[in-house]
Amino acid sequence: MLLKLLLALSLMAGCVVIHASGITWSLSPMERAADSSGSFWRSTWLCIRLAVRMIVCHLVEISIWGLFYLWNAAMRDLPSALYFSAVTYTTTGYGDLILPPEWRLVGGVEALTGILMCGWSTAFFFAVVSRLHTTDTPEARRL
């Protein structure tokens, strides 16, 4: 059980690295957009691009967890592993697929990781939108 917990924490650490990389990847277009004059469509397009980038990060993280389940024979096939990972990471938890008893703690760590990563994305998105709607001074608009 301790080994599985360490593996799960390693996957969580990998998700943090992926997410930090994704947010860093998202910062440069946000800085360019903040330095230009704002309009409704420019701000909307910026939000769409940001949302796409954050969702790509989440999908990569979900895929890594799913591949881990498949590799360890905790799920029978790739579609099931990815589906299980997606509903666990997002804490949807339909319950139609479950892990074998010896892997269930790993599923719980994935759910906690998903909560943290989704919260991080939300906080970043909120910060960007807040900056778009602050006063028009260059200092206030810098990301």
Angle, alpha carbons 111-26-136 (nearest 5°)? 120
Question: Whole domain around residue 113: which residue ranges?
Answer: 2-141
Q: What is the mean pLDDT of residues 40-60?
A: 91
**Would the pLDDT of 52 be above 90?**
yes
Q: Minimal CA–CA distance to 131: which of 142, 123, 122?
A: 142
Q: What's the confidence (pLDDT) of residue 72?
A: 96
Residues in Cβ contact with 63 at an 8 Å cutoff, skipping those fewer than 6 apart: 82, 85
For residues 85 and 99, the answer to whether their CB atoms sit within 8 Å is no
Q: Minimal CA–CA distance to 69: which of 113, 101, 115, 103?
A: 103
Q: Which is more confident, 27 or 133?
A: 27
Q: What's the confidence (pLDDT) of residue 38?
A: 62
Amino acid at 99: L
- Give the whole-angstrom CA distance, residue 112 versus residue 110: 5
**Would the pLDDT of 13 be above 80?**
yes
CATH number at residue 57: 1.10.287
**What is the reported pTM?**
0.86
For residues 120 and 54, the answer to whether their CB atoms sit within 8 Å is no
**For residue range 58-83, what is the model confidence (pLDDT) as tens digits?**
999 999 999 999 999 999 999 999 99
Confidence grade of residue 87 (pLDDT, cut at 50, 70, 90): very high
For residues 87 and 94, the answer to whether their CB atoms sit within 8 Å is yes
Q: What is the number of structural domains in the chain? A: 1
